[in-house]
Amino acid sequence: MANSEPSEWATSGVDLFLDFRHGSGLRGQIEEGLRDAIRSRRLPQGARLPASRALARDLGVSRGTVLAAYTQLVAEGWIAGHPGSATVVAAESGGWASDDLMRPPREARWRFDLRPGRPDPSSFPRTEWLRALRRALAAAPDRALGYGDTGGRFTLRSELAAYLRRARGLRVTPDNVVVTTGFTQSLNLVALALARTGVTRVAIEEPSMPEHRAIVRAAGHEVVPLTVDGSGARVETLAGHDDVGAVVLTPNRQHPLGVALSARRRAWLLDWARRSGALVVEDDYDGEFRYDTHPIGPLQGLEPGVVAYAGTASKTLAPGLRLGWLAAPRGFLEPLLEEKRLREGQAGVLEQLALAEFLQSGAYDRHVRKMRLRYRHRRDVLLQALGSGPPGLRVAGTAAGLNLLVHLPDAATEQSVLAAARSRGIGIEGLLGGDYYEGDGSAGLIVGYAAPPEHAFAAAVEAIASVLRAVVE
Ligand SMILES: Cc1ncc(COP(=O)(O)O)c(C=O)c1O
């Protein structure tokens, strides 16, 4: 050991970096290496040291040398241990308590989580997902654990294509499905691929999520705002703007206003895109949750050649999974996949395989159908509670999704409602407060009704209804 490199890795159940540049003699070097590790906070209190036999073997010294070093350090109070049990860094070592490091950062915890767009995490189908994961992993060939296809695992693309054709009316085959980590990545990739093809101006609905505008700008585009009225995005304002190379919108349910894009505007937009060569980016973030009317068919099903359709598992399963998908026009696949290849950012293969199995076994459909019923019931309960609120309260965007909109008279009222809600532990967003508008906008409260666990839902509804009763005239 004395002739070895100044630093050595010792592995024996635990991986340990020891700096052997100090101390004299083998035993002295080990002692000083361990003291230094504790002093310099690499080893916190309670950290396990390697067994003496294993450390001796790793360092190529006799076990007696290691034992002598450990005995000395026990006597000095750096480490503690008894024959037969693990040797650990002593609590009184003066080193630092691992808890200081391990404590997770404080998260804002709401008593009632009514923030928009979040599904109920307590309803995640843990058992079915585990079953799918186990089955998928058992059946996967070893090569599935390699780097894989840039577009995503073929099994998943194939299941997604089948699902999207059957349940959402898309015109899609596995080769134009790209697996992503969610809409956020889909939009990033599309924006970058558009820049690659020479596009510089991209229209986005206003109001819309500020992150989405930021993503488009970060790819170098100028954002052209597309205002929204009761029939959805006012796409006709694009007439004469053939320099707009793409339009990003939420036609199924405008976020956050909740209106659907009218049939006339759908036809107009697709016709304009066909003629101008622009790409329509369809964010179908919660299309699975439509309650009162039949699902509205996605734009992609009408005109697959000009629409990049983006879906996500963030609402149907959980945002933490980071799984989404794009169905892109064939002519757009090359720049899209090139951007994806450069940026990596693949969804994990185990999640991909599990989702494929989940779709194939019918568990996805069953889960969506169950949650659709549950969320519809919640929406009804919320509407009833709001109905007993201040007279004239206008509620919109109720036919679908995981949140609805309560229009408020002005910015001051929105601020008062938000402040009162938050002081009662309600997590909730405002239309103006959420930066959905860059220009002038109207005030409103976006009430998410999916996130609270079942047992807390009634109390959450009562809490927000009472805030509205107290604040709104
Ligand atoms: C309008 C809209 N699009 C897309 C998403 C989903 O994003 P992701 O799939 O990256 O989780 C959300 C989630 O909040 C959303 O509100």
Reported as a single tens digit per residue, the pLDDT across 129-139 is: 999 999 999 99
pTM of the model: 0.90
Q: Answer yes or no: is pLDDT of 99 > 80.
A: no
Sign of CA dihedral 26, 27, 31, 34: positive
Confidence of residue 102 (pLDDT cuts 50, 70, 90): low
The neighbouring-strand residues paired with 279 are: 246
Give dist(CA 131, CA 52) in Å, integer. 42
pLDDT confidence tier of residue 100, bands split at 50, 70 and 90: low
Residue minimizing CA distance to atom 14 of ligand 1: 117
With 80 as the cut, is the pLDDT of residue 1 above it? Answer: no
What pLDDT score was predicted for residue 43? 87
Above 80 in pLDDT, residue 94? no
Ligand 1 probe mutation, 204, 211, 255, 323, most atoms within 8 A of CB: 255
pLDDT at 444 over 90: yes
- 462 Cα: distance to centroid of ligand 1 (angstroms): 27
> Does residue 184 have its Cβ closer than 6 Å to ligand 1?
yes
The CA 321 to ligand 1 mean position distance, Å, reads 13
316 C-beta closer than 6 A to ligand 1: no
Mutate to test the pocket of ligand 1, among 180, 183, 325 (most ligand atoms within 8 A of CB): 183
Q: Is 183 in the pocket of ligand 1 (CB under 6 A)?
A: yes
Instruction: Give me ligand 1 centre to Cα 247, in Å.
Output: 17
What is the per-residue pLDDT for 8? 46
What rounded mean pLDDT belongs to the chain? 92
Q: Where are the alpha helices (DSSP H) in 169-291?
A: 183-196, 210-218, 263-276
252 CB near ligand 1 (under 6 Å): no
**pLDDT tens digit string along 381-407?**
999 999 877 777 899 999 999 999 999
Q: Give yes or no for residue 180 CB within 6 A of ligand 1.
A: no
Q: Which atom of ligand 1 lies nearest, measured to the CA of 182?
A: 9
DSSP notation for 315-364: TTT-GGG--EEEE--HHHHHHHHHHHHHH--PPPHHHHHHHHHHHHTTHH
Tell me, in angstroms, the distance from the centre of ligand 1 to residue 76's CA.
57
Is pLDDT above 50 for 2?
no
Look at residue 368 in the predicted model and tell me its pLDDT. Answer: 97
460 CA from centroid of ligand 1 (Å): 23
Q: Please determine, for residue 459, whether its predicted confidence score (pLDDT) is greater than 50.
A: yes
Sign of CA dihedral 344, 359, 375, 125: negative
Per the listing, tokens 């549950």 go with: 374
pLDDT at 419: 97
Q: What's the 184 CA to ligand 1 centre distance in angstroms?
A: 7
Give distance in angstroms: CA of 285 to centre of ligand 1.
6
Whether residue 319 has its Cβ less than 6 Å from ligand 1: yes
- Output 265-272 pairs: Cβ under 8 A, ≥24 positions apart: 265/231, 265/232, 265/233, 265/234, 265/235, 265/236, 266/299, 266/302, 268/235, 268/236, 269/235, 269/238, 269/299, 270/299, 270/302, 270/303, 270/306, 270/307, 272/235, 272/238, 272/239
The pLDDT tens digits for 245-288 are 999 999 999 999 999 999 999 999 999 999 999 999 999 999 89
| C-alpha span between 180 and 347 (Å, rounded) | 6
Residue 457 near ligand 1, beta carbon < 6 Å: no
Q: At what angle do helices 126-139 and 363-387 cross, to 10 degrees?
A: 160
pLDDT of amino acid 10 = 47
Q: What is the pLDDT of residue 346?
A: 86
Mean of the pLDDT values across residues 438-452?
96
**Residue 202, beta-bridge partner list:** 223, 246
Query: Could you identify the residue written with the tokens 């339009």?
Result: 247
Q: What is the rounded distance in angstroms from the CA atom of residue 157 to the CA atom of residue 177?
A: 6
- What are the beta bridge partners of residue 224? 203
Ligand 1 site, residue 312, Cβ cutoff 6 A: yes
Q: Are 65 and 55 in contact (CB under 8 A)?
A: no
What integer is the mean pLDDT of 24-31? 92
pLDDT in tens, 320-376: 999 999 999 999 999 999 999 998 878 999 999 999 999 999 999 999 999 999 999
Residue 7 scores a pLDDT above 70: no
What percentage of the chain exceeds 90 in pLDDT?
Answer: 79
Q: Is 117 in the pocket of ligand 1 (CB under 6 A)?
A: yes
Asked if pLDDT for residue 293 goes beyond 70, the answer is yes
Query: 20 versus 301: which is more confidently predicted?
Result: 301
Region 180-194: mean pLDDT is 98
What is residue 315's predicted lDDT score, i.e. its pLDDT?
97
Q: With beta carbons less than 8 A apart as the criterion, state whether 253 and 282 touch.
A: no
The residue-averaged pLDDT of 24-45 equals: 90
| Beta carbon of 181 within 6 Å of any ligand 1 atom | no
Give the pLDDT band (50/70/90) at residue 157.
Answer: very high
For residue 210, say if its preceding peptide bond is cis, omega within 30 degrees of 0: no
Q: Is the Cβ atom of 78 under 6 angstroms away from ligand 1?
A: no
Average pLDDT in the 197-219 region? 98
Please name the amino acid found at residue 459: A
User: For residues 174 and 70, what is the distance between their CA atoms, to the nearest angstrom?
Assistant: 61
Which of 189, 314, 322 has most ligand 1 atoms within 8 Å of CB, for mutation? Answer: 314
- Cβ neighbours of residue 386 closer than 8 Å, sequence gap 6 or more: 393, 395, 406, 465, 468
Mean pLDDT of the region 190-196? 98
pLDDT at 289: 94
Q: Name the closest-CA residue to atom 15, ligand 1.
A: 285
Q: Is the pLDDT of residue 12 over 60?
A: no
User: What is the band of 11 on the pLDDT scale with cuts at 50, 70, 90?
Assistant: very low
